[in-house]
Amino acid sequence: MIGTASSILVSSGKQNGRYEECTLGDAVADALVRFTEADLAIVNGGCLKGNIIQGEVTEDEIADVIEDCEVVTMMVSARELYEMMEKCLSHVSSDGKGGYSVAISEHPAFPQISGFRVTYNPADEPYARVSRITIADKALGRNDTQLLKVALPLSLVEGELQGIGTNVVITGKTLISLMKEYVSYGMDDYYTPPKRIIPQGIHSSVFPDRYAVFTLLAVCALLFVLLLPLAKKMDMFHKQSDAKKGESSDK
């Protein structure tokens, strides 16, 4: 054992890291920010391949669920960060019923992120979907002049994000080595539920259990409201019946 996970970290199953934000993706991206001194991090979902169960974590468990991708850092402008998100989110498709069209949406370039939030609409045209990026709850304009240091896998730089960014630096670290370091030093404990990538018009599969609980509570409340008058009438009926029986016994 090298450390513990305070909650289950998921990239497949209820959360699919290839078309939606997942808790394992959040944790790995956080590891990149913390141990590369980057401002932000992007990890493509294709580097994630399983789940880490809550509790004790071993090196083998980490190696089983994360690809050993080499990590680099580079500098990007605000406009380039928007472009990166547009590219990585271009494959996601809505099923028109508030869910994902999974067969179309699954793609290894889907971004798991740290240090910022992004809002986008899968129903909009590809490469024109991102409506908002925020850093520390402050909106980042496309024309803002600040440069940002981003940590990400080299495979993503050479693939989907080729040609974006400057001053690429090889860190000598990998996703696995950084995640091991993160778990060893003590992970953050707020990985449920995810809330960094916000798809407009989509009911994320991250929350089905919560929705089920809310639905059950709503049904119970409705039944209570409907049955309360009936219960009162039955109570009154029983009281009247008891009163009549008392009168009969007195006679």
- Whole-number Å distance between alpha carbons of 16 and 160: 19
Summary mean pLDDT of the chain: 87
Give mean pLDDT, residues 23-28: 97
Same domain, 197 and 222: no
The CATH number of the domain holding residue 53 is 3.90.780.10
236 and 177 in one domain? no
Same domain, yes or no, for 21 and 65? yes
In the chain, % of residues over pLDDT 70 = 81
- The pLDDT of 22-44, averaged and rounded, is 97
**In whole angstroms, what is the distance from residue 11 CA to residue 52 CA?**
9
The whole-number average pLDDT for the span 14-25 is: 94
Q: Are 47 and 199 in contact (CB under 8 A)?
A: no
Clarify whether residues 105 and 221 are in a common domain. Answer: no
pTM: 0.81
The domain boundary, picked from 205, 220, 236, lies at: 205
Residue 217 has pLDDT above 60, yes or no: no
Res. 230 pLDDT band, cuts 50 70 90 = low
Residues 144 and 231 in one domain: no
User: Which residue range forms the structural domain that includes residue 16?
Assistant: 3-205
Domains identified in the chain, total number: 2
Let me know whether 47 and 97 are in one domain.
yes
Residues 95 and 216 in one domain: no
CA 109 to CA 204: how far, in whole Å?
Answer: 18
Beta strands in 36-184 (DSSP E): 40-44, 55-57, 70-77, 111-114, 117-120, 130-135, 138-139, 147-153, 166-174
If you compute the radius of gyration of the chain from its CA atoms, what whole number of angstroms results? 26
Please give the Cα distance from 225 to 209 (Å, whole number).
25
Q: What pLDDT shows up at residue 225? A: 59
Count of other CB atoms within 10 angstroms of residue 201: 12
Say whether both 62 and 151 belong to one domain.
Answer: yes
153 and 217 in one domain?
no
How far from chain centre, in Å, is Cα 173?
A: 25
Residue 13: HSE in the Cβ half-sphere, 13 Å Cα cutoff: 10
Over residues 148-165, the pLDDT tens digits come to 999 999 999 999 999 999
Determine the pLDDT at residue 226.
64
Name the domain boundary from 170, 189, 205.
Answer: 205
Q: How far apart are the first and last CA of the chain?
A: 82
Helix (H, G, I), strand (E, B) or coil at 167: strand
Alpha helices in 2-100 (DSSP H): 23-36, 59-65, 78-88
Query: Residue 20: helix, strand or coil by DSSP?
Result: coil
Whether residues 131 and 159 share a domain: the answer is yes
Calpha distance 165→233 (Å, rounded): 73
Q: Are residues 120 and 238 in the same domain?
A: no
SS (H, E, C) 196-244: CEEECCCCCCCCHHHHHHHHHHHHHHHHHHHHHHHHHHHHHHHHHHHHH
Comparing C-alpha atoms, which of 108, 17, 31, 21 is closest to residue 62?
31
Tell whether the model's pLDDT for residue 144 goes beyond 80: yes
Instruction: Give the lowest-confidence range in 56-60, 173-177, 216-220.
Output: 216-220
Same domain, 79 and 154: yes
